[in-house]
Amino acid sequence: MHVQLGGVDYSILIIYFAFVLGIGWVLRRFTKTSSDFFLSGRSLPAWVCGLAFISANLGAQEVIGMGASGAKYGIMTSHFYWVGAIPAMVFVGLFMMPFYYGSKARSVPEYLKLRFDEKTRGFNAITFAVMTIFSSGISMYALAMMLQLLLGWNFHLSIVISGLVVLGYVFAGGLTSAIYNEVLQFFMIVLGFAPLVFLGLKDVGGWSGLQDRLATVAVGNGFASGAWSHSWGYMNSAASNPMGVEWFGMVMGLGFVLSFGYWCTDFLVVQRAMAAKSMSAAQRTPLIAAMPKMLFPALVILPGMIAIALTYKSGQSGFALPMKPDGSYNYDLAIPMMLVHYLPQGMLGMGLTALMASFMSGMAGNVTAFNTVWTYDIYQSYIRPGKSDHHYLWMGRVSTVAGIVLSAGAAYAAANFNNIMDMLQLVFAFVNAPLFATFLLGMFWKRTTGHGAFFGLLSGTLAAAIHHGLTVPQAPAGVIVPHIKGGWLAVVHTYPSEMAQNFWSAICAWTACFVITIVISLVTAQKKSDDELRGLVYSLTPKVVEPGVPWFRRPAALGVVVIAAAVALNVIFR
């Protein structure tokens, strides 16, 4: 279904692109060193870093993926926020930022070198670089798919255009350009999606009317009537809810392993906090981000829930999600089609611009993380050490180009999933889940050794691969599951959904890494002294105290408020 944009719509798009590229061009003159390009000179205020922290996570996987998951799994998708984000964001702010920021590490892999050894840093740098390419490719795929569907643009041309725009402002201004654009993109997303939610809810009769319609969806899929509108009420068994996961798999797989693995170790978001101007500002960054984060289900999940409700009542609304060739709904199109269905000219331009902002935010966030890790942790460490700062600044710009090109290749792999969030969580299960076990032991158990960390990470990644290779998600009758979704070794178990499979892959990865790291650490010698570990291990690091700061501005007080609000939301929508 192609739509015709009016002059107002195109004007909004053109003005937005002019601002995006203009910010990069203006900030180019302030980007003179590699520290400026990769870390913004550690000079930005907490509120800017906080909005960038959340906006960097507001890529296609957040907006399109969460909307798709809202349609596919219902309000259980809110667990990605209230269980799978907020507690971890508080933890990283209170406990982990003092190590990251205080160690003066330029990246997460560099912290691993300081805490453990070179081989641990190298392994994480390589796996993280691969992950950022896939994550950026997902955003690129989603944007190209939307432009093809809605505007009739060529899919391949759309990938090229989106890559060139992001390349333009990141190449010029580095991380600072990306961060200030992410702040702009945050407000664009809110302004573009708020009218969609209002109009959609009004159409279905408010929250109570939506619950009634979702009851039809649930019953039509063989579940109890409240399965799409209650977040906790149907998690007594995997067969009782559309996500196909019981409460333990949710709490352990998402709430602990994947959540803490992403928010606490993913350099994409940690990099934003490390750009803050002080330790206190760095700690407050994820806490400030957590406040709007917990409200985002209303903007990105609710439209997907409305979309599936309207699809089951398409005779009344004229709206229906399109089908894929395998007979499943194309859930990734939930939000783009809702925008076209509800927003008139002018407002449609704002909504489409918000979508593009989210895609570019995700792409830029991953590309800036990629160019930093590639330059500092791979190129400088193993390929060309000892070069000038100007040389590494040049390499940062070259790797930005390379990251965009590689992301384009990863964009085509995303086409195998009807929900890009499923693919993203699969990538996280391989990379972030075992990494969190390494960080947890390394920061809170000084006996953890470099050999233990390295072989633990390797074992965790292999455990995820083996589990994924032996299991598959349930597919419609007669549909062959592609190997990217699992079963490439043998099929010993079938999960109700891709997401359930991802959660258990993450649990296997974390458990294997945790156990192997402990065992090998106990039989190998700790080569680092207490002095070398000071500032890197919790028990050996002096606690940060800021005299004269009011209690309500202290990170601990903010953390308590955020956790209390998240608990209240879980209770209200249980």
Which of these ranges, 219-223, 548-552, 569-573, has the smallest mean pLDDT?
548-552
Q: Which is higher by pLDDT, 415 or 334?
A: 334
- Compute the average pLDDT of residues 204-229: 91
Pairwise CA distance, residues 225 & 74, whole Å: 12
C-beta separation of 321 from 311 below 8 A: yes
CA count, 13 A, side-chain hemisphere, 338: 38
pLDDT computed for residue 527 by the predictor: 87
pLDDT bin (cut points 50, 70, 90) of residue 547 is low
| Mean pLDDT across 415-428 | 74
Tell me the pLDDT band of 523, cut-offs 50, 70 and 90.
very high
Task: Tell me phi and psi for residue 493, to 5 degrees.
Answer: -155, 140
Alpha carbon distance 218, 211 (integer Å): 10
DSSP string, 32-52: -SHHHHHHGGG-B-HHHHHHH
Contact 477, 470 (CB under 8 A): no
pLDDT exceeds 90 at position 525: yes
Mean local confidence (pLDDT), 108-132: 90
More confident residue, 326 or 529: 529
Sign, Cα dihedral of 442, 444, 446, 447: negative
pLDDT given at position 424: 77
375-378-381-385 Cα dihedral, nearest 10 degrees: -50
N- to C-terminal Cα separation, the chain: 37
pLDDT-derived band at 99, boundaries 50, 70, 90? confident
Stronger pLDDT, 250 or 18, i.e. the higher one: 250
Choices 1.20.1730.10, 1.10.4190.10, 3.30.420.40, 3.40.50.2300: CATH for 7-12+44-572: 1.20.1730.10
What pLDDT does 415 receive?
A: 67
Using 50, 70 and 90 to split pLDDT, how confident is the model at 518? very high
Q: Give the mean model confidence (pLDDT) for residues 299-309.
A: 92
Mean pLDDT across 73-85: 92
Q: Using CA atoms, how far apart are residues 304 and 151, in angstroms rounded to an integer? A: 21
Split at pLDDT 50, 70, 90, the class of 379 is very high
Query: What is the average pLDDT across 527-556?
Result: 80
Mean pLDDT estimate for the chain: 85
**Nearby residues of 569 by Cβ (< 8 Å), 6 or more positions away:** 78, 82, 294
Give yes or no for residue 451 having a pLDDT over 90. yes
Enumerate the domain spans of the chain.
Answer: 7-12+44-572
**Average pLDDT estimate for 187-207:** 89
Residue 128's pLDDT is what?
87
pLDDT at 544: 67
Q: Is the pLDDT of residue 477 over 80?
A: no
pLDDT exceeding 90 applies to what percent of the chain?
32
Model confidence at 562: pLDDT above 80 = yes
Residue 157: which residues within 8 A CB-CB, separation 6 or more?
Answer: none
CA dist 480 and 426 (Å) reads 19
**Average pLDDT estimate for 369-398:** 89
**Among 192-196, 475-479, 498-502, 560-564, which is the least confidently predicted range?**
475-479
Calculate mean pLDDT across residues 119-127.
91
pLDDT of 346: 81
Given a cut of 80, whether residue 291 has pLDDT beyond it is yes
Instruction: Name the band, by pLDDT with cuts 50, 70 and 90, for residue 486.
Output: confident
For the ranges 63-72, 161-170, 345-354, 525-534, the lowest mean pLDDT is seen at 161-170
pLDDT of residue 416: 65
Q: For residue 317, is pLDDT > 70?
A: no
pLDDT tier for residue 53 given thresholds of 50, 70 and 90: confident
- pLDDT of 419 above 70: no
What integer pLDDT is reported at residue 155 of this predicted model? 83
